[in-house]
């Protein structure tokens, strides 16, 4: 973080950097350059060495892109970063724009003349995004040119090195299925589709396939690597060999072959040769890989990542691990919620105090491996900013009569958690209670949903939203996302969201997180993870089992807004939380939980 007194100095950097970039572009006869915040694997979290957008612009948010032209430049962000961008961006160097008004490519086509040549880095652009860019520029008579090397890298003098964290095996005790078994099953699918091979670029896919984990990026335990899966039942694991101890080769099984990541181009040429048919996921694979395969003679078959569905359907060992991790995470949440109540009434507490204490409490667990995303602790009006993350400049105190929205999660060796609780600091108003209870009704609607096999997340989404819609209210995000098992906290393909067409299947784990956000006042969200399972009572129907265990704030519940069925569910859930967690709690924490979960 830049300290305020060095802000003026820091602001000169983007101007010098953008000027240097323009010189490089001019030398390559490029009229502009597109810079997304992404790396070769197109995942949610990227290593520092790939944070080129932050180096060029000074913007440190987790999503955005820039377009630099000869005489102007724009940074594209979404609404949650408006304040942060205003603080971090030199307005002389970059115009800050909303990424939908209009989208970056549309803005670009309005700025450039026919014949313009615009550079992009195909290594950090998905196949689909690259194709759309090429087509959009062609429409206005311009050209999209993949650069040979990213021009930022030559200018970025103190660019951090790529991570070299050791690779760890994810043992059968937690994975429940060997890499050999996964590779064999996926190879059969390739055979059935008459596909010779599939290339995997996303880190959670590769980690799942080979049962490996690492520490190369924040929040997700993955290793920078690629995989080539062949119809003959073998697979290449392309990874920097310096990250591998001797136990890795032995533990990978018989079907995986380790190759150094520097051999990727060669490996792609080999697999493409002879006119092979290669499957790649156009949204999850970079365009450079596609271009190498095509250059090597391959026919590309765009298909969804073949690991996505089998990874989403957790096996019994993964389910047991996720349940166990949630019991321990629930214990940490009880300690946390009690601490907030006790401490906020005796001294000044800020959002950052809450973030630090939660991390400390969770770190006591020997299986804890860190957060699964940056904790959202939004006090008062900050709670209304979806995906808000407290920083020094925005840090607020928890004030009496306000709400705190606390959304956090952890990575444990046996599972990944993601939980939101909204708590009242002091006495909540009647309106806060009404709004909280509407969100709780939406949350209970998903928790208790029963649906026929084949139903999609898109069909379930309005079950939650109806309770807000009835009052003329809504929330501008999905109701649920898939979650990995000691892997990504956001994992496809399943979601509970408007229009989502993925069928929900037994074993899938998904979040249940409706919310409500009142700009400049407060935000409310209630989030548990749920497991899709067969209905115990009705054949061919599915239902959810809630696996997150932590109390809701009873002070925020307006009893009269809940019907008998909702009240019964709430009391049964609280009893389950109490019965499961109490044996693991200190007497003081158990006593607090007894009160927090008393029937309403």
Q: How far is the CB of 250 from Zn ion (least distance, A)?
A: 37
Q: Which is nearer to Zn ion, 220 or 511 (CB)?
A: 511
Q: How far is the CB of 389 from Zn ion (least distance, A)?
A: 12
Cβ atoms of 369 and 413 closer than 8 Å: yes
Q: How far is the CB of 384 from Zn ion (least distance, A)?
A: 16
Neighbour count for residue 165 (Cβ, 10 Å): 15
Integer Cα distance of 349 and 395 in angstroms: 10
Integer Cα distance of 390 and 387 in angstroms: 10
Identify the helix (H) or strand (E) that includes residue 198. Answer: strand 197-200
Cβ atoms of 96 and 107 closer than 8 Å: no
Integer Cα distance of 493 and 265 in angstroms: 29
Q: How far is the CB of 371 from Zn ion (least distance, A)?
A: 11
Q: Which is nearer to Zn ion, 121 or 418 (CB)?
A: 418
Q: Which is nearer to Zn ion, 50 or 420 (CB)?
A: 420
Neighbour count for residue 360 (Cβ, 10 Å): 13
Placement of tokens 């994810």 in the chain = 170
Neighbour count for residue 177 (Cβ, 10 Å): 16
Burial-class residue 289 by CB neighbours within 10 Å (0-12, 13-18, 19+).
buried
Per DSSP bridges, beta strands 415-416 and 450-452 are unpaired
Q: How far is the CB of 62 from Zn ion (least distance, A)?
A: 14
Q: How far is the CB of 408 from Zn ion (least distance, A)?
A: 7
Written as six digits, the tokens of 542 are 């599915």
Q: Which is nearer to Zn ion, 321 or 514 (CB)?
A: 514
Q: Which residues pair with 143 in a beta bridge?
A: 117
Q: Which is nearer to Zn ion, 205 or 511 (CB)?
A: 511
Cβ atoms of 378 and 285 closer than 8 Å: no
Q: Which is nearer to Zn ion, 125 or 512 (CB)?
A: 512
Cβ atoms of 368 and 362 closer than 8 Å: yes
Q: Which is nearer to Zn ion, 329 or 407 (CB)?
A: 407
CA distances from 46 to 124, 150, 223, 413 (A): 11, 16, 11, 21
Q: How far is the CB of 513 from Zn ion (least distance, A)?
A: 5
Q: How far is the CB of 514 from Zn ion (least distance, A)?
A: 11
> In the chain, how long is the greatest CA-to-CA distance?
74
CA dihedral over 235, 236, 242, 246, signed as positive or negative: positive
Q: How far is the CB of 21 from Zn ion (least distance, A)?
A: 36
Q: Which is nearer to Zn ion, 151 or 221 (CB)?
A: 221
Q: How far is C-alpha 392 from the chain's CA centre?
A: 23
Residue 176: DSSP 8-state: -
Using CB under 5 A as the criterion, which residues of the chain lie in contact with Zn ion when the complex forms? 407, 418, 420, 511, 527
Q: How far is the CB of 477 from Zn ion (least distance, A)?
A: 9
Q: How far is the CB of 480 from Zn ion (least distance, A)?
A: 8
Strand order of the β-sheet with 376-379 is 376-379, 402-408, 419-425
Q: Which is nearer to Zn ion, 374 or 543 (CB)?
A: 374
DSSP alpha helices (H): ranges in 28-169?
52-57, 82-88, 104-111, 127-139, 151-155
Identify the helix (H) or strand (E) that includes residue 519. Answer: none
Burial-class residue 434 by CB neighbours within 10 Å (0-12, 13-18, 19+).
middle
Q: Which is nearer to Zn ion, 225 or 526 (CB)?
A: 526
Integer Cα distance of 256 and 73 in angstroms: 46
Q: How far is the CB of 372 from Zn ion (least distance, A)?
A: 9
Q: How far is the CB of 475 from Zn ion (least distance, A)?
A: 13
Burial-class residue 448 by CB neighbours within 10 Å (0-12, 13-18, 19+).
middle
Q: Which is nearer to Zn ion, 50 or 526 (CB)?
A: 526
Q: Which is nearer to Zn ion, 196 or 527 (CB)?
A: 527
Q: Which is nearer to Zn ion, 255 or 481 (CB)?
A: 481
Q: Which is nearer to Zn ion, 39 or 407 (CB)?
A: 407
Q: Is 593 helix (H, G, I), strand (E, B) or coil?
A: helix
Integer Cα distance of 434 and 470 in angstroms: 13
- Reply yes or no: is the peptide bond before residue 86 cis, omega within 30 of 0: no
The closest of 265, 197, 252 to 223, measured between CA atoms, is 252
Q: Which is nearer to Zn ion, 126 or 511 (CB)?
A: 511
Placement of tokens 């060095």 in the chain = 6
Cβ atoms of 187 and 229 closer than 8 Å: yes
Q: How far is the CB of 8 from Zn ion (least distance, A)?
A: 37
Q: How far is the CB of 565 from Zn ion (least distance, A)?
A: 25
């Amino acid at each position: 973080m830049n300290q305020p007194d060095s802000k003026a100095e820091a602001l000169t950097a983007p101007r010098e950097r953008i000027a240097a970039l323009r010189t490089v572009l001019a030398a390559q006869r490029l009229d502009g350059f597109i810079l997304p915040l992404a790396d070769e694997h197109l995942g949610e979290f990227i290593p520092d060495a790939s944070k080129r957008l932050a180096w060029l612009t000074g913007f440190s948010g987790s999503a955005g892109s820039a377009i630099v032209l000869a005489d102007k430049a724009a940074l594209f962000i979404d609404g949650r970063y408006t304040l942060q961008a205003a603080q971090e961006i030199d307005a002389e160097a970059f115009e800050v724009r909303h990424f939908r008004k209009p989208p970056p490519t549309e803005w670009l086509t309005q700025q450039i003349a026919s014949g313009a040549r615009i550079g992009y880095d195909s290594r950090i652009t998905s196949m689909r995004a690259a194709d759309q860019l090429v087509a959009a520029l062609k429409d206005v008579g311009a050209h999209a040119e993949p650069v040979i090397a990213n021009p930022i890298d030559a200018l970025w003098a103190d660019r951090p090195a790529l991570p070299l964290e050791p690779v760890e095996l994810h043992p059968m005790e937690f994975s429940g299925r060997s890499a050999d078994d996964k590779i064999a099953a996926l190879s059969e699918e390739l055979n059935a589709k008459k596909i010779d091979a599939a290339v995997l670029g996303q880190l959670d896919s590769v980690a799942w396939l080979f049962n490996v984990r690492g520490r190369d990026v924040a929040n997700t335990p993955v290793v920078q690597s690629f995989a080539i899966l062949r119809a003959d039942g073998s697979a290449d694991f392309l990874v920097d060999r310096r990250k591998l101890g001797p136990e890795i080769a032995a533990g990978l099984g018989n079907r995986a072959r380790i190759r150094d990541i520097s051999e990727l181009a060669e490996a792609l040429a080999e697999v493409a040769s002879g006119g092979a048919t290669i499957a790649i996921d156009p949204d999850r694979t970079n365009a450079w890989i596609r271009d190498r395969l095509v250059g090597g003679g391959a026919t590309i078959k765009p298909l969804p990542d073949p690991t996505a569905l089998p990874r989403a359907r957790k096996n019994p060992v993964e389910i047991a691990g996720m349940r166990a991790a949630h019991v321990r995470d629930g214990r940490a949440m009880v300690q946390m919620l009690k601490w907030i109540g006790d401490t906020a009434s005796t001294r000044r507490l800020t959002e950052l105090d809450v973030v630090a204490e939660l991390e400390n409490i969770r770190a006591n667990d020997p299986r804890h491996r860190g957060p699964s995303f940056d904790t959202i602790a939004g006090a008062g009006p900050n709670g209304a900013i979806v995906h808000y993350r407290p920083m020094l400049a925005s840090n607020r105190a928890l004030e009496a009569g306000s709400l705190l929205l606390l959304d956090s999660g952890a990575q444990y060796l046996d599972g990944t958690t993601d939980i939101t609780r909204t708590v009242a600091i002091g006495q909540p108003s009647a309106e806060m209670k009404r709004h909280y209870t509407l969100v709780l009704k939406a949350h209970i609607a998903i928790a208790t949903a029963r649906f026929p096999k084949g139903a999609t997340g898109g069909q379930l989404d309005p079950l939650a939203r109806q309770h807000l819609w009835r009052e003329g209210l809504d929330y501008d995000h999905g109701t649920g996302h898939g979650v990995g098992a000691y892997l990504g906290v956001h994992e496809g393909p399943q979601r509970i969201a408007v229009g989502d067409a993925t069928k929900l299947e037994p074993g899938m784990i998904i979040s249940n997180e409706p919310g409500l956000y009142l700009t400049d006042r407060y935000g409310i969200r209630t989030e548990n993870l749920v497991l899709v399972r067969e209905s115990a009572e009705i054949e061919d129907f599915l239902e959810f089992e809630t696996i997150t265990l932590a109390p809701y704030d009873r002070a925020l519940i307006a009893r009269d807004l809940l019907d008998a069925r909702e009240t019964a569910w709430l009391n049964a859930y609280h009893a389950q939380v109490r019965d499961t967690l109490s044996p693991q709690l200190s007497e003081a924490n158990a006593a607090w939980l007894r009160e927090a979960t008393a029937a309403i």
